[in-house]
Amino acid sequence: MAKITFISHDGAEQVVDIPTGWTVMQGAVQNGVDGIEGECGGSCACATCHCYVDESFAGSLPAPTQTEEEMLECTSSERKPNSRLSCQIKVTPELDGMTLHLPETQS
């Protein structure tokens, strides 16, 4: 389990407990976090679960796969160095306390 904080584009904060082994997208969508769509259900096929990882956790995540890397080029909002697709972030206990910033639009 890890506590993940989502901060929407307009600054609203939502904290969600996500079980280990789940993806961040799954935890966000099941808890109704606005601003994460995950239209393809987590198949890395739609780029609608884009988020910006807080710098302090950037080093805790495995590097994106080639598919994620390429899908990140197709996000609706600006791609930044800390951009990730939340369906590709698997929750581990080490991610407890991580903050994710959400983009203005997903599609």
Partner 1 sequence: MAPAASATGIGGMVIVGAGQGGLQVAESLRAEGWTGPITLIGDETQPPYHRPPLSKALLNGEMTDAQLGIRGLDFFERQRITLLTGVRVSSIDRAVPAVLLDDGRSLSYDGLALATGARVRPLPVPGADLEGVFGLRTLDDAHRIGAALDTAERVVVIGGGFIGLEVAASARKRGRAVTVLEAADRLMARVVAPFVSDFYADLHRSHGVDVVLGAQVVALEGSGGKVTAVRTADGTVYPADAVVAGIGVIPNDDLAVAAGLACDRGIIVDDCARTHDPRIVAVGDCTVRVAEGAAPRRLESVQNAVEQGKAAAASLMGHERPFTAVPWFWSDQYDVKLQMVGLSAGHDRTVVRGVPAERRFSVFYFRDGALIAIDSVNRPPDHMTGRKLLDKRVPVTPEQVSDETVQLAALAR
Give Cβ neighbours of residue 84 (< 8 Å, ≥ 6 apart): 50, 51, 52, 53, 61, 64, 68, 72
Identify which of residues 70 and 94 has a Cβ nearer to partner 1 in the complex.
70
Q: Between residue 1 and residue 20, which ones bind partner 1 under the rule CB under 8 A?
A: 19
CA torsion, ordered 105, 22, 73, 47, to nearest 10 deg: -50
Q: Which of 36, 47, 49, 61 binds partner 1 (CB under 8 A)?
A: 47
Alpha-carbon span 93 to 28, nearest angstrom: 17
Among 20, 43, 60, 105, binds partner 1 (CB under 8 A): 43
Positions touching partner 1 (CB under 8 A) are 19, 21-23, 26, 29-32, 39-45, 47, 67, 70-71, 73-74
